[in-house]
Chains A and B, each alone.
Chain A
């Protein structure tokens, strides 16, 4: 019963990691850039949702959609302003720019609204406890898991079944060849950023509801964890990001459950190191055809 509870704890934590990891993996798949500002887009999404709910009195779903839309535009802006001109520069230049962008967003937010945390208003989603063989499942956690899965299915549909998805996969395979085939590469990259950032925005709102507390530096650790999840699953692979996120969440829960709660973060980064040493391509790494 205790272990069932821990499994549930791990999966609900992991589904948030997975949502953030999707954005990392998509952007990496298409322009080989680790977008360190992604965790901060997640933070911005949480704040947009917060102000929508608290300030305008919107419900959960309108706030979620508003936040996703805002983050999509925000992600595209980041790409256009900071990354586009570096597309032919060295990878390290782009990486450093991403770190700079991340710090800029964090401290820009602190400058605008201060560093104090905010609490998501209670009662946005009905909260009741469901008892399953002695383990408590929060109804919010269930709904959140459901929303995450639905978003991932929509994403998979876009990538596999639409024309834009096809373009994304083509650009990811070979940017030059895709351009020669008449694909608008810039537009495709922007679209990728838009989708990835929208998912981060959704994760931000979900995080806010589930954990209540949001602050301008909240994106740092989940961002890094999601990066670990993306690498674990095989960076560039969409199913990999989902599986990697869930595995990471469950591993963290198990580590805490064994009484090593102070080693939880260390365990997450140990996974990163081990994966990079023994299987840098990650769990789903061989699956190059599906890469985005």
Chain B
């Protein structure tokens, strides 16, 4: 009963979208003309709109740059945007519209793993290349049976990779051998990170002296932190999201735990500094996609250009990922020498050592990028570029 209502509603909705737009845009599209039609399916409203909007800014900037330089093989890129309202079923409707009606050559989106997975089926069925700028879950490009989704790619690194990087960073840069792990037990994200961290760290001769977990939405971590402290680790790896991590960092420092704390991109939010306090965050490090303070020439050029275009605002990681995604695609189209989907797909699969803002990118057999990660250090509440770690 409920299922049927859902199906009815979904079809009514998509019919509405198709009908609504049919009058205005459908004329004259589809041919392999002198244009590359790029579909963008992002969270432009709804609860993760800030991710989608940031990526959109990066995408627009990259497209403008490419078009100014004469386009890809002389073909200008034209963006067709849909807003998936941070909702998985809207994301599916969005890609249906882009592929069937606007007949785009490729689609970029969405910002989160869930909303990208919602589009994967349509991308494969219609043989349209879909590139996710930000979904870090492995399931974006590999389905639940472990089979690669042929037409789905991504620009960001994946969750387990971050754990590996954190382990290497701890061993090589912090030079410590005794680690504690304090992970969010209610998210796959944290689980993926702590598993890969543990594997890499122990393989290289490190020792996990304490492994503890918490449940998302907890507020009191003092008891477990006291337990961790008694084991005297020389640093603590905390994969989790900023809402809890902020409190963990604050409470750890209050209990006199002054060893380095290491986290990943889930920490990256201005709220983290408010929650933990700038003092408590000193001597903490996070793995992230990129830093606007990276002295690399290419990065600095991008930062300057972005600041000019956006009135002085420094680009965040999502801006950079959106920007990179366009170049990732443009590079493949150039190498394919055609806008034919299967040729683009093949070229994307063969991407190797492509220099991008968020690091040099090579695509592995699961369509996961193998790329450099950036380590940032918090100093008085500000993220400071620390180092880059190769996989």
- Which residues of A pack against B, CB within 8 Å? 2, 5-6, 9-10, 13, 115, 117, 119, 122, 127, 129, 136, 138, 207, 211-213, 217-218, 221, 252-257, 259, 261-262, 264-265
Contacts and interface: CB of A to CB of B under 8 A. Distances in A.
A9 B228 CA distance: 14
A261 B214 contact: yes
Contacts of B250: 212
B246 A252 contact: no
Nearest to B250: A212
Nearest to B276: A212
Nearest to B257: A136
Interface stretch (B90-98, B165-173, B216-224, B302-310): B216-224
Interface residues of B, number: 28
Contact of A211 (B214, B219, B255): B219
Contact of A213 (B213, B214, B243, B256): B243
A136 B250 CA distance: 14
A252 B243 CA distance: 21
B271 A119 contact: yes
A138 B254 contact: yes
Contacts of B229: 2
B222 to A, nearest CB: 4
B131 interface: no
Given A119-B271, A261-B214, A256 B227 contact: yes
B176 to A, nearest CB: 22
A262 B185 contact: yes
Contacts of A10: 223
Given A119-B274, A261-B212, A265-B215, A211 B247 contact: yes
Given A211-B219, A212-B250, A136 B275 contact: no
A199 B205 CA distance: 53
Contacts of B114: none
B192 interface: no
B277 interface: yes
B185 A6 contact: no
Interface in B166-184: none
Which A-B residue pairs are the 3 nearest by beta carbons?
A256-B223, A119-B274, A9-B222
B275 A212 contact: yes
A122 B273 CA distance: 11
B219 A136 contact: no
A213 B223 contact: no
A6 B191 CA distance: 27
B212 to A, nearest CB: 6
Nearest to B255: A136
Contacts of A5: 226, 255
B220 A213 contact: no
Given A2-B229, A256-B223, A264-B223, 8 more contacts: A2-B227, A10-B223, A117-B271, A127-B254, A129-B254, A138-B254, A212-B274, A257-B226
